[in-house]
Amino acid sequence: MKQIKKTTKPSDKRIDTNALIKMKHWLGVIIAVFAFILYAQSITFNYALDDTAVLKKNNSVHKGIGGIPEIIKKSYWYGMTGIDDPIYRPASLVLFAIEWQFFPDNTKVFHFVNVFCYALSCWLLFLLLCKLFKNQNLLFPFVCGLLYTAHPIHTEVVDNIKSMDEILCFIFAIGSVLFFIKWLSNNSIPTLILAIVSLFLSMLSKETGIVFLLIIPLTLYVFVVKDTKKLLTASVVVAAVTGLYVIMRYKILINTATEGHLSIMDNSLMGADGSLSYFASAMFILLRYIFLLIVPHPLSYDYSFSQIPLKNIGDPMALFAILIYLSIFVFAAIKIRSRNVAAYAAFFFLITLFPVSNIYLKLASTMAERFLYIPSLGFCLILTYCLLKITKSEAVKTKFINIRQMVMMNGLLFTFVMVIVGLYSIKVMARNPDWKDNASLFVHDAETADNSARVHYNYGTILIDNKYPAEQNAALKAGILEHAITEFNKAIAIYPNYPEVYSYLAVCFIKKEDFATALKYQEQYVQRHTSPDPSIHKNLAVLYKNLKQYEQALVEFEAAIKEDPGFLPLYVSKGEVYGQMNRYEESNNEFFRAMKVDPKSVTPYVDIGVNYASQNQFEKAMEFFKQAEVINPNDKENAYLMGVTYEKLGDAAKSKQYLERAERLAPEKKD
C-alpha cells in the first residue's frame, strides 16, 4: 500500500497541475473575450472630442510610418498645431501613424484596435495577478480581473480613440512588472532588457507611467521578493530607467514652457479663493473619484467650470474627504510592513491617483474619468479582497481543478460578483452609444452635466452646426435655432467670460437676420478673445455691411484682406459696399483685385457689369457680362442680366433668348 501511495501521489499532483494550467488559460480567455464583447459596439463609432485632433487633423500622423521620426522628436500636439507644447506622449501617436499608413481615416479600424488593446490589457492583468497570487488559487485573480474589465469608469478610455495613451501606458506597465518578476527568478539579461523597455514605453505612452517608479518596487516587496538586496537592485534599475525618460523628455521639450496659463475653464480650481480653498476643493474632487468608483453613475465627458463646486477648508464634504484619504494612507502605512494585500491596494490607488490629483501639479482638467483608468485597479483589488473576506472564500484552503468546481464551491462569492459585474456591464452597454460621435455625446451629457459651461457650449455648437443646416422644415429649423441660443445663454450664465459663446451667439442672430444683436455679441467676442482669430474682421465686416454702416465695413474688409489675401469673397463684398455707397470707381477697383485672385470666377465681371448698368452705361455693362459668359456660359445670374440689358439696349430677340436661357439654367452657387 505504501508503494502504491508513493507512485500515485506524484501522478495525481501532475494531473492537478495540468488541470490548473488549463483552467488558468481558459479563465484568461474568458476575461479577454468578455472585455472585447463589452466594447465591440464601439467599433462602428466615429471620432469624438480629441480624436479629431490626434488623428484626422494631425499632419504628423498623416505621414504614416514616415512621420514617426517627427512624432518622436516633437511634442504631443505639434502635428495638429505646429507649435511645441509641454506634453510628450509619442507611443500612441506612433501607433496611430502606423494605423493611418494602412487604414487612413478609418474609424472602424481605430476603434477596433482600441477595443483589442483593452482586451489585451485585461488579459495581461489577469496573468499578472496570477503571478502575484501564485501561492493561492485562481479565485482572486479571476474575480479581480472580471471586476476591472467590467467597471464602467473605463468607458471614456475605451470608446475615445485618443485615450489609447492610457491603455498603452497600462499594457507596458503590466508587461514591465511581469518581466521584472521573471528576471528576479532567472537572472536573464534578455528578460531584464524587456522589463526596462516595457517600463520606458509605459512612460512614453503617458507621463503618469512615471508612478511605476514606486509601484514596481512596492509590488515586488509585497508579493515577490523577500531578499532586500534583490529588491534594492530592482529598484535601482527602475530608478535608472525613469531617470533616462526624464532626461529624454527634458531634451525634447527644452524650448517649451513647462507651465502655461490655466484659466478657470481649463481647471475650476483656478477660481479657488486662496491655497486652503484650492486644497479643500482638490480633496473634494478626490472624494468624488471614490464615489464614482463605488457608484459609476452618472458619467460625463466633462467636469469643467462649474460642474464641481469649489469648497472652503471648513466645508463638511472637504473635511470628510481629508479624513477618508488620511485614513487610507495611515491604514496602508501601518499594514504594508506585513505585506498586506489591502494595504498594497490602498497604496496602489493613492500613488497612481496622485499625479492627476491637482495637488502637486496643476492640470488642464478639473477632473476626468480617464484619470481613474489605472487607479481603478486599486479599487478592484480592495473590492475583491472584501468580497473574499465577507463570503469566507479562503483562497488558500479552497481546492478546485476546473471552472465549474470553482463556481460551485464559491456560490455566494460568485453571486455577489455576478450581480456587480452584471450591473457594471449594463451601465457600460448603456454608456457606450453616447460616445458614438460628438453629437451623441454632447446631447446626452448636457443633461448629466447641467452646471458645466463647456457642456452647454458644445451642445449649442452641435445644434447650430449639425442639426440646424440638416433640418428642412422651417418651423423646426427656427426651433433648433432658439434651442441653440438657449444653450449658449446657459453657458455664459455659468461663465460670462467665455469668448467662443459670444461668437456663436453672433452667428445665431445673423441667421435670424437680427444684425444689431449679432453685432453686439460679436463685439463682446472681440473684447474677450485672447488668441489670434482671422474670422473676427470678416464677421465684423459682414455685420457692418448688413447694418449699412459702410465706413466701418470697409475698414474691416480691408483688415480681413490683409489677413487672408487669397479669399475672393472679401474683395467682392468690399466692392459691393462701395457700390451701395455709389462709389462705383472704387467698387470696380475691388472687383479688378478679385479678378487677379481668381481669373476664372465670373462674379467680379458680373458685379462690374451691374455697376455700369446702375449708371445706365449698358454697352459697357454688356462688355463685362460677355466676358463672364466666356468664362461660364451656364451662369444663371449672368444670363438673366444679359437678357435685361439687351432689353435696355432695344434688342428684344436677344433679350428673349437670354431670359429663356436663364429660366432653363439651374442656379449656381456664387463664389
Is it the case that residue 387 has pLDDT exceeding 60?
A: yes
Looking at residue 221, its pLDDT comes to 96
**Is 498 a residue whose pLDDT tops 80?**
yes
Give mean pLDDT, residues 164-192.
97
User: How confident is the model over 418-431, as a mean pLDDT?
Assistant: 98
Q: Report which secondary-structure segment, H or E, holds 514.
A: none
Contacts of 17 (CB under 8 A, 6+ apart): none
pLDDT at 550 over 90: yes
Q: What pLDDT, on a 0 to 100 scale, did the predictor assign at position 668?
A: 57
Instruction: For residue 3, name the pLDDT band (cuts at 50, 70, 90).
Output: very low
Domain boundaries of the chain, sorted by first residue: 17-46+106-429, 600-671
Question: C-alpha angle with apex 160: 89 to 246, nearest 5 degrees?
Answer: 15
**What is the distance between the alpha carbons of residues 54 and 92, in angstroms, rounded to a whole number?**
9
Mean pLDDT (whole number) for 615-624: 95
User: How high is the pLDDT of residue 21?
Assistant: 87
Number of H helices, E strands in the chain: 33, 0
* Amino acid 83: pLDDT: 86
Span 647-658, average pLDDT: 94
245-273 tens-digit pLDDT: 999 999 999 877 555 568 898 899 999 99
Average pLDDT for 280-284: 97
Task: Tell me what pLDDT residue 18 has.
Answer: 83
pTM for this entry? 0.88
Higher pLDDT: 239 or 226? It is: 239
At 513, is the secondary structure helix, strand, or coil? coil
Angle at 25 between CA 352 and CA 114, to 5 degrees: 50
CATH 1.10.357.10 fits 600-671, yes or no: no
Residue with the larger pLDDT of the pair 203 and 530:
203
Residue 17: pLDDT above 90?
no
For 439-484, how does the pLDDT look when each residue is reduced to its tens digit (9 = 90+)?
A: 999 999 999 999 999 999 999 999 999 999 999 999 999 999 999 9
177 and 124 in contact (C-beta within 8 Å)?
A: no
All residues at 6 or more sequence positions from 583 whose CB lies less than 8 Å from its CB, including other chains: none
Q: How large is the angle between the packed helices 341-353 and 316-335, nearest 10 degrees? A: 130
Categorize the per-residue pLDDT at 635 as very low, low, confident or very high, splitting at 50, 70 and 90.
very high
Q: Which of 313-317, 323-327, 408-412 has the lowest mean pLDDT?
A: 408-412
Angstrom distances, CA of residue 344 to CA of 80, 141, 328, 380, 641 = 41, 15, 11, 12, 83
Residue 85 has pLDDT above 90, yes or no: no
**Closest to 293 in 3D by CA, of 350, 357, 386, 375:** 375
* 385 vs 1 pLDDT, higher one: 385
Convert the pLDDT of each residue in 179-233 to its tens digit. Answer: 999 999 999 999 999 999 999 999 999 999 999 999 999 999 999 988 899 999 9
Mean pLDDT, the chain, as a whole number? 93
Instruction: Answer for the pair 588, 575: CB distance below 8 angstroms, yes or no.
Output: yes
**Lowest-confidence segment of 241-250, 307-316, 390-399 by average pLDDT:** 390-399
**pLDDT the model gives residue 1:** 36
Mean pLDDT of 583-598: 95
Put residue 273 in one of left, alpha, beta given phi > 0 → left and psi -120 to 50 → alpha: beta
What is the pLDDT, as a whole number, of residue 393? 82
Q: How confident is the model at residue 6 (pLDDT cuts 50, 70, 90)?
A: very low
